[in-house]
Chain A
Amino acid sequence: GENVEQHPSTLSVQEGDSAVIKCTYSDSASNYFPWYKQELGKRPQLIIDIRSNVGEKKDQRIAVTLNKTAKHFSLHITETQPEDSAVYFCAASIRSGGGADGLTFGKGTHLIIQP
């Protein structure tokens, strides 16, 4: 099955600086890569996603890049703010008739924004 590795497990950055979280996946059939933000005690919330036919996607301060050849994808947050502090999860979906099915998650990155 699919295996998703995520690094780092903890990331501390100064407010206003950029943060980058990296993930690798094992199954070349995976075609959908979402990123979730989870605050303590709350549900995972989708913040951005990318499909395998796209190399980069941006939404305001958040961007995701995908390298299909190397099987890795990254989340980039610019101009970080205190409210960005949370645990971030990457995920991948194995193609099964197309579309996003059950997701395989990474172990998460605890992002800490230092004031």
Chain B
Amino acid sequence: EAGVVQSPRYKIIEKKQPVAFWCNPISGHNTLYWYRQNLGQGPELLIRYENEEAVDDSQLPKDRFSAERLKGVDSTLKIQPAELGDSAVYLCASSYRAGVANYGYTFGSGTRLTVV
């Protein structure tokens, strides 16, 4: 099994430019999460999807960040325009949630974004 696949692995952009990250969750996982991990810190949740519905986007800076999961499988996270402070690793995770149980919570390798 491929696990949670993210691309690109690294991205360097100039400030004010747009950038997009892609995530392919583990097959069958209905729940998808985007996290941001700043250097030397723990991951911080940005948004959580159950199937195609964003059920928790309270930590997503909506003025410049957007996300979608149109068919309840792959997801993209976009930043437009990027700022210097957006430099971080963006991690995607997925799990299978059934009722009160949650299985197989797995992280991808992340996309390391550098804004210059």
Answer yes or no: are A and B bound together in one complex.
yes
- Overall SS of chain B's interface: strand
Cross-chain contact A99 with B42 (CB below 8 angstroms): no
Q: Which residue in chain A gives the minimum CB-CB distance to B42? A: A105
Q: How far is the CA of A45 from the CA of B101 in the complex (A)?
A: 20
8 A Cβ contacts from A56-115 to B: 89, 91, 96-108
B100 interface neighbour in A89, A99, A105, A106, Cβ under 8 Å: A99
Assuming the A-B contacts A43-B110, A99-B97, are A105 and B44 also in contact, with contact meaning beta carbons closer than 8 angstroms in the complex? yes
Q: How far is the CA of A99 from the CA of B43 in the complex (A)?
A: 19
Q: How far apart are A101's CB and chain B's nearest CB, in angstroms?
A: 6
Q: How far is the CA of A60 from the CA of B97 in the complex (A)?
A: 28
Q: Which residue in chain A gives the minimum CB-CB distance to B107? A: A43
Q: Number of residues in A with C-beta < 8 Å to the partner?
A: 24
- Cβ–Cβ < 8 Å partners of A104 in chain B: 45
- Cβ–Cβ < 8 Å partners of B45 in chain A: 102-104
Q: How far is the CA of A46 from the CA of B100 in the complex (A)?
A: 20
Cross-chain contact B91 with A102 (CB below 8 angstroms): no
Q: How far is the CA of A46 from the CA of B4 in the complex (A)?
A: 14
Q: Which residue in chain A gives the minimum CB-CB distance to B34? A: A102
- Cβ–Cβ < 8 Å partners of A89 in chain B: 42-43
A-B pairs, 8 with minimum CB distance: A98-B100, A105-B42, A99-B102, A102-B45, A100-B102, A43-B107, A102-B48, A89-B42
Of the A-B pairs whose beta carbons lie under 8 Å apart in the complex, a sample of 20, sorted by A's number, is A6-B42, A43-B91, A43-B110, A44-B43, A44-B91, A44-B107, A46-B105, A46-B106, A91-B42, A96-B56, A98-B100, A99-B97, A99-B99, A99-B101, A101-B48, A101-B102, A103-B43, A105-B43, A105-B44, A107-B42
Give the interface of A toward B (CB within 8 A): 4, 6, 32, 34, 42-46, 89, 91, 96-108
